[in-house]
Structure 1
Amino acid sequence: MKYLALGAATFLIAQTAPPSAAYAETPELTVYTYDSFVAEWGPGPQIEAAFEETCGCDLKFVGMGDGAALLARLKLEGARSEADVVLGLDTSLIAAAKDTGLFTETQVSADYALPIEWTDSTFAPYDWGYFAFVHNTDLTPPATFKALAASDLKIVIQDPRSSTPGLGLLMWVKDAYGDEAESIWAGLADNIVTVTKGWSEAYGLFLEGEADMVLSYTTSPAYHIIAEEDDSKAAAVFDEGHYMQIEVAGRLAGSDQPELAADFLNFMVSDAAQSILPTTNWMYPAVMPSGGLPEGFEALVKPEKARLVDSALVPAIRDEALEEWLAALSR
């Protein structure tokens, strides 16, 4: 909390003013999110400054690793959680998040620019993208998972138990190959240099030259193009299509700032926030900003086929896919 400083003048006022005036508090909104969102180069600092200009509040972001780790932390804390809002889950985690019973309806209405119709009333999308393997442009990438498995290319991926990209890859392979998924993972096992807890660690290893390709997004090269004026990174296009990620935010039923939490969710789909996200979170905005997409996004590859498993079906598919993944990588 931010408290009014007590100086001599304030002390005198306190003698005659009601306690609520003497000890006025700035309301605080606590938002749990993933680490890269709150990094100095992420959207967190700009989102915080922009929202605080309008809310008369103190917005406090708390980084919790990656998206799946975020949900695990929330489950551990339960109703005792200090979070008012959770930002950074995705469609693969929506069903599990609802099962906690900790969330309430969003009260958000927006003109979404998503590839699918959004009907969920508990979570509000704020950005989206396609998972892809990013590589240097001097490499000729494979065009299928089978071709990747047959190659000697080294890749870095994220753990599906702690990372939303890792879970997205698990669902991507399972959705594309069904009963063949375990054999695909068996083939890929030799290509995997390491499995990291989150996206930041994996992408850092790729940039350090520890792998030929890294699991990331089709939008990741936009960072290098726009922020670094470097067009040496590209996303490989796979014939199986690409799995979609829609990132969402939701408010907790136990929040002691329910109106402020609702205001924040509506702010996240406003033009002010949506115009920040493309060049800080490096994803497509959920609502098209008035200025459109930044220059550089037109150079990104666009998958011809999008894959997305219905969020209600994910838990059962995830359990089977995770067992296959663990079995293949432990051999």
Structure 2
Amino acid sequence: MKHLAFAAGLLGASAAFAETPELTVYTYDSFVSDWGPGPAVEKAFEEVCGCDLKLVGAGDGAALLARVKLEGARSDADVVLGLDTNLTAAAKETGLFAEHSVSADYALPVAWNDATFVPYDWGYFAFVHNADAAAPADFPSNFKALATSDMKIVIQDPRSSTPGLGLLLWVKAAYGDEAPEIWKGLSDNVVTVTKGWSEAYGMFLEGEADMVLSYTTSPAYHLIAEEDGSKAAAAFDEGHYMQVEVAGKLANTDQPELADQFLEFMVSDAFQSIIPTTNWMYPAVTPAAGLPEGFETLIAPGKSLLLSETEAAEVRDAALGEWLDALSQ
């Protein structure tokens, strides 16, 4: 009888475990890393959802959309976290995403009224360098100066990386029809093109390049987490391109209510307070405690550049072609 009771207990435990709902969120690799937001977000959400949150790294940001398009309605994902406004138009065209009902007091530099995607952080792209490698005046202050300099840079592939795509649109927004000439000038500066941000930033930290495409907020990581003030972002006088990162619910999710709960959780203080010192971006909603000490040291772009999702979709292919032509010569 004792054996039967033990077996019954195991079956009961197994049934309870099987009934725990699971929410699968596709995101980018750095989000789920040990030092990224993933572990803290998972712990915080599971404390309120009574569920198992499964965060799946699927490459860099732009690779997320490619994967979801490939999987289609059969995708295991319930939510995709890590697209940005340069990709939202293309994402909506797939018909794979459902609308949301989230509202929040956003602290974004732009108005937000997107019915499909919910923002969770934002920032500005920038080239990060070692501040003690030379005097600040010796670093380029625009793309033309960078192209004529001896600086070696590492950038990301726009076909797989949202920073890489952001760089294309940054050049396009700043220079328009001059963009092909800018890329011809920059081609000699590019050491390599990586698939994602993590690889590129790692190469920079290993001394394989003078500058890396990243964010104005990247130096905050070194300053706050490492007490290292040796990294800085170069201020470009033609302006810096903005990135707003978003998440959306898949239309074919088998956990629609849980997916909605996660999107609502994203704009809560519990989630937003995690972002500044794990994803090293500005939160979409200002946390109750404000921004961490050290963020006030970051450069503030004199001009913000951002194409609408429609404009980004319209120029993306042409900008990619210009980039490929220049780097293949």
TM-score, normalising length: structure 2: 0.95
Going from structure 1 to structure 2, the CA distance change for 1:274 and 1:8 (only over 3 Å counts) comes to farther
| Alpha-carbon distance change, 10 to 73 in structure 1, aligned in 2, over 3 angstroms | farther
User: Which residue does 2:297 correspond to in 1?
Assistant: 299
Provide the aligned C-alpha RMSD in A.
Answer: 1.7
Deviation at 1:118, TM superposition (A): 0.2
How many Å separate the matches in 1 of 2:99 and 2:174?
A: 33
Identify which of 64, 73, 81 aligns with 1:87: 81
**Cα pair distance change 1:119/1:323, threshold 3 Å:** same
Name the residue aligned to 1:200: 198
Runs (4 or more) in structure 1 with deviation over 6 Å come to 20-23
Alignment counterpart, residue 53 of structure 1, candidates 47, 59, 69: 47
Question: How many residues are matched?
Answer: 323
Shift of 1:12: 3.7
Which aligned pairs between 1:265-276 and structure 2 lie closer than 5 A?
265-276=263-274
Distance 1:236 1:14, change over 3 A: closer
The aligned counterpart of 2:235 is 237
**Structure 1 residue 25: deviation in Å?**
1.2
Superimposed CA distance per residue, residues 239-265 of structure 1 (whole angstroms, 9 cap, x where no aligned partner): 110000000000001000000000001
One-letter amino acid matched to 1:323? G
- Matched AA of 2:140: P
- Given the alignment of the two structures, is residue 314 of structure 1 paired with residue 316 of structure 2, yes or no? no
Contact 1:95/1:311 (8 A) holds in 2:
yes
What residue ranges of structure 1 are gaps of 5+ in the alignment?
Answer: 1-6
Give the match for residue 99 of structure 1. 93
* Structure 2 partner of 1:123: 117
Does 2:37 match 1:39? no
CA distance in 2, matches of 1:198, 1:300: 24
Cα shift at 1:309: 0.2
Q: 1:54 to 1:23 in 2, by over 3 A?
A: closer
Query: Any conservation in 2 of the 1:28–1:60 contact (CA below 8 Å)?
Result: yes
- 2:64 is matched with 70
- String of CA shifts for 1:46-79, please: whole Å, max 9, x gaps: 0000000000000000001101011101110000
Give 1:9 deviation, angstroms.
3.5
The percentage of aligned residue pairs carrying the same residue is 75
* Deviation at residue 315 of structure 1 after TM alignment: 1.6
Whichever residue aligns with residue 224 of structure 1, its letter is: H
Letter in 2 for 1:66: D
After alignment, is 218-227 or 101-110 more displaced? 101-110
The residue type equivalent to 2:77 in the other structure is: A
Aligned AA for 1:88? G
Matched-pair contact (CA < 8 Å) for 1:13–1:22: no
User: Are the counterparts in 2 of residues 158 and 195 from structure 1 also a CA contact under 8 Å?
Assistant: yes
Partner of 1:210: 208
CA distance in 2, matches of 1:165, 1:298: 23
Q: What residue number does 2:165 align with?
A: 167
Counterpart residue identity of residue 44, structure 1: G
Query: 3-state DSSP class of the match of 1:216?
Result: strand
* Alpha-carbon distance in 2 for matches of 1:271, 1:118: 18
Task: Compare 145-154 and 307-316 and name the one that shifted more.
Answer: 307-316
Structure 1 residues 272-293: Cα deviation after superposition (integer angstroms, max 9, x where no partner): 0000010000000000000000
Q: State TM-score, norm by structure 1.
A: 0.95
Describe the shift of the 1:13–1:240 C-alpha distance in structure 2 as closer, same or farther (beyond 3 A). same
1:122 CA displacement: 0.2
CA shift at 1:24, angstroms? 4.8
1:194 counterpart SS class? strand
* Secondary structure in 2 matching 1:131: strand
Given the superposition, is the C-alpha separation of residues 169 and 22 from structure 1 closer, same or farther in structure 2, using an over 3 Å criterion? closer
CA shift, 1:179, in A, is 0.6
2:148 and 2:297 map into 1 onto residues whose CA distance is 29
Match of 1:9 in 2: 5
**Bigger mean CA offset, 100-109 vs 205-214:** 100-109
Quick check: 1:149–1:188 contact (8 Å CA) kept in 2? yes
After TM superposition, the structure 1 stretch with the greater mean CA deviation from structure 2, 139-148 or 178-187, is 139-148
SS of the equivalent of 1:60 reads strand
